[in-house]
Amino acid sequence: MKESNSKITIITVSYNAVTSIEPTILSVINQTYPNIEYIVIDGGSNDGTVDIIKKYQNKISYWVSEPDKGIYDAMNKGIRMATGDWINFMNAGDTFFCDTSLNLLFIPEPDSGIDIIYGDTEFIYAFGRYVRQPAELEKLKYGMIFCHQSSFVKADLLKKRNYNTKYKICADYDFFYSCLKERKTFQYIPHTISVFDARNGLSSVNRIAREREFGIISGRSHTPQWKLEYYKFIISHQIKGIIKQSLPENLLSKIRKWNFKRITKAVNQAHEYHY
C-alpha cells in the first residue's frame, strides 16, 4: 500500500459553539493521516468558543474569529485560505468517525481523475444512532444524497467555484448539483467517514426553506408537479406541528422512539440486502 502525497485541508466553521467545538477539534487533530492542514473560521463568538480554539492553536494551521455574513461566507473564507489538495468541512458539533478516517480514504492515493469523494455517515438521534449510506448518484438532482461532512472535494474545484451565498441553507447542494451537471467525477467509498449529530434537527421553517431551495437549484420549482409536492410538504409539516402541540410529551417520546426503531430496522435490512 503506497503512501499518499495528498495534503488534506479540514475546515471547521463555528459560531458560539462552546459546548460542541472541542470534540470536533479533537477528532481532526487526532487523525493519524500525516499531511493535514487544519483551518478554523469562527464568526466572532462571545461564549468561550475562542478560548477553546486557543487551547489547541498549536495544532491548528490557521484560525480567525471575526464577523461573517453566514455559514457559507465563512466556508468561502476557509476555502480561500486552504493550501491542500482536497478540502473537507467538519463544522462545530460534527466529528470524524474514527482516528483513521483519512487513512481509509487517501491511502492508497485516489485516482487523479476523481473530483469528489463521499461516503457513509453515522447519525446520532435521541434514542440511538445508525449509519446511513448515500442514495444513488443520479438522485442528487432531487436533493442531497450524502452528508457534507462525509465528502472531500478537489481544492482547485472549490476555489474556482465558491459557495453561492444567496442560498442560506443549500449552497452546498448547489455546488454538488452543478458538479453533477458538469460531469465532474464522483467516487463513493464504502466507509463511514463522519458522525453527524441530528438530535436538534432543522426547524420546520428551515425544512420548508430547504425544500424550496432544492427546487430552485434543481430547476424544478416552476413545474406543476414540484409545486404540488412542495405544498403537500408544507401542509404535512403544519399538521405535524399541530399534533406535536396537542400530544403529551411522554407519548411524543414513545412515538419518536418507535419511529427511530422503524428507521433503524429499514436501514439494517437495506444493508443486508446491499451486501
Domain residues for the domain of 136 are 8-197
Are residues 192 and 267 part of one domain? Answer: no
Is residue 1 assigned to a domain?
A: no
pLDDT attached to residue 125: 82
- 256 pLDDT more than 70: no
pLDDT tens figures, 41-60: 999 999 999 999 999 999 99
pLDDT tens figures, 112-164: 999 999 999 999 887 788 899 999 999 998 889 999 999 999 999 999 999 99
Burial label, 246 (beta-carbon count in 10 A; 0-12, 13-18, 19+): exposed
Are residues 231 and 147 part of one domain? Answer: no
Are residues 66 and 38 part of one domain? Answer: yes
Mean pLDDT to the nearest integer, 178-192: 97
pLDDT tens figures, 163-178: 999 999 999 999 999 9
Element (H, E) at 186: strand 186-197
Is residue 32 assigned to a domain?
A: yes
Ramachandran category for residue 162: left, alpha or beta (phi over 0 → left; psi -120 to 50 → alpha): beta
Higher local confidence (pLDDT), 77 or 204: 77
Instruction: Please count the structural domains in the chain.
Output: 2
**C-alpha span between 147 and 172 (Å, rounded):** 10
What rounded mean pLDDT belongs to the chain? Answer: 89
Are residues 219 and 136 part of one domain? Answer: no
Are residues 137 and 25 part of one domain? Answer: yes
Is residue 3 assigned to a domain?
A: no
Percent of the chain with pLDDT over 70: 89
